[in-house]
Structure formats: C-alpha cells, structure tokens
Amino acid sequence: EPEVTQTPSHQVTQMGQEVILRCVPISNHLYFYWYRQILGQKVEFLVSFYNNEISEKSEIFDDQFSVERPDGSNFTLKIRSTKLEDSAMYFCASTAEIIQGGQYFGPGTRLLVL
Amino acid sequence: DQQVKQNSPSLSVQEGRISILNCDYTNSMFDYFLWYKKYPAEGPTFLISISSIKDKNEDGRFTVFLNKSAKHLSLHIVPSQPGDSAVYFCAASKGAGSYQLTFGKGTKLSVIP
C-alpha cells in the first residue's frame, strides 16, 4: 500500500541553525501539508501546498518557515533559524482529492532544538 | 482556542464491547469531520469521515454519528478489539477551498482483553 515517507525520523539541532525536513508524498496525490505536534499538545496545521504554491498557511508559519517541491517527488519544510519552541513532531500529509477527504500522514520527524 | 474538543483524555473498554469516543466543535463553519487513529511513534491514520449533510457514516466496525445542531460527533467501534488501543483524534475542516484540519487533543482508548 502506498504511504507517505519522511526523513529523517529524528533530528537534533542547535538553536539558530537551519533544518530541512523531507517528505515523499503518495505519488498520485496533489495536495501536500505540514502539521506539527508539540509534546503534550494537539496536532496543528502549518501549511498546505498545491500546484507549486502555498494555498493556506497558519499563524505559526511565519517568515522562518518555507516549503518547496524541488522535484516531482519530494516536499520539504525548511526552518531557517530554529528556536527552542520549534521542538516538535512534524508530520507531512498528502491527499489526492480536490474535495475534502482523508489526508494521509507520514510517520513524522521528531525535531529537537537545543 | 479549542475549536475542536475531546473532553475525555482516556477511555477503557472491555474487548468485544462498544467503544464510544466523543467530540464537540464550536466553529459552525466546519462542514467535514474526520477521525484519525494514532499509535506511538507513527503518524495519524485516517479512519472514517462524515460530511455535514449526513448524520451517519459506517465503515465496518466503525460508525461516525454527527449531530449538527448540537455540534457533536461520536465514533462508535463495535466490537472493540485490543488492536484498537490507540489515541483517537477528531478533526474538522471548513471546506470552501480550505482543507486544513483542526484537531482535537485526542482520546487514548485502551481495549482490555
């Protein structure tokens, strides 16, 4: 069964460093998303991406964040200058449908900022 | 800002019995609702969804009920199995071009053999 994959599974970085989280969505999917879950809190929407541009973003997704689909398969989230409060589990998701439907999530990248 | 609320952090049920997980929402713009299951160290797995034009959707052992006037939905699992033990998240979206999901905090279901 096709699945969303994410790399790395864990990343430890120093505050102020740049990190890039990578995702490979399901191959025929058109919509891509990033969510995050800070430990003990709810899963929060960051950004959605369709047709090579951002379609929605939340207040969390400030100028420190960017997304890119550099080729036909990868979808990346970049945090330019990490802060301690960026420590969280980051989930990528994708969906084929252009109407509402279940988004398929990857296993997540656990980011720890020291 | 708790637009989607799951007021029970945990629930224990005997194997074979019914599990009922509840979810309330406050934003009347939500028109599509989903349930996800999550095991530790994995991403959320989509289970079942319902549009606001329906009041029930069934898929095997899983049934979701929507009471739009009460802004309440529930997930019924029957019969419950030990493999159903996980955290269950309720999520909602607004439609009209917005497909971001707003999640509840989750309910940890334990099915006791």
Q: Quick one: pLDDT at residue B2?
A: 75
Judged by CB atoms closer than 8 Å, whether chains meet at B34 and A102 is answered as yes
Question: Is A106 touching B (CB cutoff 8 A)?
Answer: yes
Judged by CB atoms closer than 8 Å, whether chains meet at B99 and A108 is answered as no
Q: What is the DSSP letter of B84?
A: G
Give the distance, in angstroms, between the CA of residue A79 and the centroid of all CA atoms in the same chain. 10
Q: Measured between alpha carbons, how far is B2 from B25 in angstroms, rounded to an integer?
A: 8
Judged by CB atoms closer than 8 Å, whether chains meet at A58 and B99 is answered as no
Q: Measured between alpha carbons, how far is B92 from A105 in angstroms, rounded to an integer?
A: 15
> Per residue in A43-59, pLDDT tens?
999 999 988 899 999 99
Question: How close is the nearest chain B Cα to the Cα of A65, in Å?
Answer: 17
Confidence of residue A98 (pLDDT cuts 50, 70, 90): low
> Per residue in B77-87, pLDDT tens?
999 999 999 99
Mutate to test the interface with A, among B99, B105, B108 (most CBs of A within 10 A): B99
Across the range A19-36, mean pLDDT stands at 94
Q: Quick one: pLDDT at residue A1?
A: 75
Between A30 and B99, the higher pLDDT residue: A30
Question: Is A24 touching B (CB cutoff 8 A)?
Answer: no
Look at phi and psi of residue B96 and say left if phi exceeds 0, alpha if psi is from -120 to 50, else beta.
Answer: left
Confidence of residue A40 (pLDDT cuts 50, 70, 90): confident
Among all chains, which residue has been given the structure tokens 């739009």?
Answer: B68
Across the range A71-91, mean pLDDT stands at 94
Q: What is the CA radius of gyration of chain B?
A: 13
> Per residue in B39-67, pLDDT tens?
988 899 999 999 999 999 999 999 999 99
Confidence of residue A96 (pLDDT cuts 50, 70, 90): confident
Judged by CB atoms closer than 8 Å, whether chains meet at B99 and A45 is answered as no
Q: Quick one: pLDDT at residue A51?
A: 87
Query: Taking an 8 Å Cβ-Cβ cutoff, which residues of chain B contact chain A?
Result: 31-32, 34, 36, 41-46, 49, 51, 89, 91, 93, 95, 97-106
Confidence of residue B89 (pLDDT cuts 50, 70, 90): very high
Judged by CB atoms closer than 8 Å, whether chains meet at A100 and B51 is answered as yes
Between A77 and A29, the higher pLDDT residue: A77
